[in-house]
Chains A and B, each alone.
Chain A
Amino acid sequence: MNERAVSEAIGFVLILGIVISGIGLVTLYGYPVLIKEQSNTDVKNMERAMIVIQNDMKSLCYKNVPYKETSLQVSGGTLEVVNSTSYGGLINVSTGTESLNYSVGALIYRSDRGTEVITLENGAVMTRQEGSTGSAMLAEPRWFYDAPTGTFVIYIMNITTDDLMAKSGMGAVRMSLENVDTQVRTSPAAVTVTYTTDGDNNLSVAWDNYLTGISPSGTFPLTGVSKLVIKEYRIKIYDI
C-alpha cells in the first residue's frame, strides 16, 4: 500500500476529537435525559409504594388486621406524614339536618427533581403537579352506593401521628388501627359530601371528579338514600 500523506499524529488527533465530541454531546444532551428518566422512575416507584401502603391501610380497616408494617425506599424525594389535626383536608357530610366534619391526615411524597406530588389521603392515592391546579386519582377509596338497598357507605381514614415525620431513603411504615366509629343515619333528606382542600396541597379536582363519579346521578346532593353509613377509622402511624 502506498502510505504517503498518512500521518499517525493527525489520525490520533482526529480520533481523539471524535471521542471528545461524542462525550461532550452525551454530557450535554444525554445526561439531562438520564436524570429526567431517573426522576420519572423514582416517581413511578413511589406511586406503587403508595398503593402498597393504601392496601395495607385497607387491610387494617376492612380485614380486621390490627398492625401492619411495610418497608419502602423513598428515593428522589421526601415522604412526609401529616397529622389529621394539622392538615387542612376536610370531608364534610351533610344530611340536611346535621353536618359532620372529618379531618383526614395524609402521607405526602414530594419529588426533589420534578414537580410531582403524590398524596395518600383518606384511602385514596392522588397525584398532582406542584404549581398547577389539576390533580388526578391513581387509586380510589372504597366508598360506594348500593342501589338495590339505597345504602351509601362512606369510609373515613383518619391518619394520626405523635410527631411530625419525614423520610428519605430506606424506611418502614409502621401503623396500627386505633379505633373504629360507625354512624348510621336512616332516611337522610339528601346527602351532600363536600371536600375542603388543604392550602398547600390542592387536591380538589381529583376529589370533585371522584365524588360526582360515585353518585348515580353524577351530582351532589345525593337524594333517595335510605341509609347512610359513615365508618371512621383512626390509623396511627408510629414510624416511617
Chain B
Amino acid sequence: MACMNEDGQWIVLMGLLTALALFFLALIINQSALVGQTTAEGVLEFPKNDIRDLRLEIFDYYDSYEGGLTPLEQQHYVEDIVRISLERKNAVVYFWDGPQQDVSGRMLRPITIHYNNGVTEYDETVYY
C-alpha cells in the first residue's frame, strides 16, 4: 500500500460523509411526516366552520327574536338549533341571553354560547 498512489482517498471519504448525511436527512424526513400528520389531524378535528355556522344561526335567531316571535316559537327555535346541532354535527349546544345593556352608546344583548363536541369545548359571551 505504501507505494500506491493515494490521491483518490478523499473520494471515498466524501462518499462516507454523504452516506451519513443521507441517513440523518432520512431520520428528519421520517419525523416531519409524523408531525405533518398530527398537525393535519388537529386542523381537521377543529370545528371552526361548525362554530361559525352555529354563531350565524344564533344571531339569525336573535334578529327574528327582535322581529316579534311568540314565546312558544322562540322555545321551538332554540330546541331546533340544539337538536339539529346534535343530530348533524354531534355537538352539544346551549345558548342563552341576558338583558340589553348600554355598550358604548348602543343597546346590546349579551349572548352566551356553549359548544362541546367531545374534542373541542367552546364558550363565548358575545354582545349582539
Report which A residues bind B (CB closer than 8 A): 55, 61-62, 64, 142-144, 146, 148-149, 151, 153, 155, 182, 229, 231
Central interface residue in A64, A151, A155, by most chain B CB within 10 Å: A151
| Contact indicator B118/A182 (Cβ below 8 Å) | no
* Residue in A55, A62, A144 whose CB lies within 8 Å of B116: A144
Tell me whether A149 and B114 are in contact (CB under 8 A).
yes
Query: In the complex, A201→B8 CA distance in Å?
Result: 62
Given contacts A148-B116, A153-B92, 5 further A-B contacts (CB under 8 A): A61-B90, A148-B114, A149-B114, A155-B90, A182-B87
Bound CA–CA A62/B119 (angstroms): 12
Tell me the complex Cα distance, A142–B117, Å: 9
Given A151-B92, A153-B92, check contact A146 B116 (CB 8 Å).
yes
In the complex, the answer to whether B41 meets A148 with C-beta atoms within 8 Å is no
Tell me the bound Cα distance from A146 to B116 in angstroms.
Answer: 7
Q: Do A229 and B86 have beta carbons less than 8 Å apart?
A: yes
Closest residue of A by beta carbon distance from B88: A64
Interface residues on B, range: 10 to 19
Contact residues of B with A, CB < 8 Å? 41, 86-88, 90, 92, 94, 114, 116-119, 121
Return B118 CB to nearest CB of chain A, in Å: 4
The chain A residue with its CB closest to the CB of B87 is A182
A129 smallest CB distance to B (angstroms): 25
The reply to whether A144 and B94 contact each other, CB–CB distance below 8 Å, is no
Return chain A residues, CB-CB under 8 Å to B41: 55
Q: How far is the CB of A48 from chain B (nearest CB, A)?
A: 9
Q: Is the CB of A144 within 8 A of B87?
A: no
Complex Cα gap A153–B90 (Å) = 9
A196 and B112 CA atoms in complex are apart in Å by 41
B117 to chain A: which residues have CB within 8 Å?
62, 142
Q: Tell me the smallest distance from the CB of B42 to a CB of chain A, in Å.
A: 12
Q: Of A55, A64, A143, A148, which one neighbours B118 at CB under 8 angstroms?
A: A143
A144 to B41, CA, bound (A): 19
Cβ of A144: which chain B residues have Cβ within 8 Å of it? 92, 116, 118
- Nearest chain B CB to A228 CB, angstrom units: 12
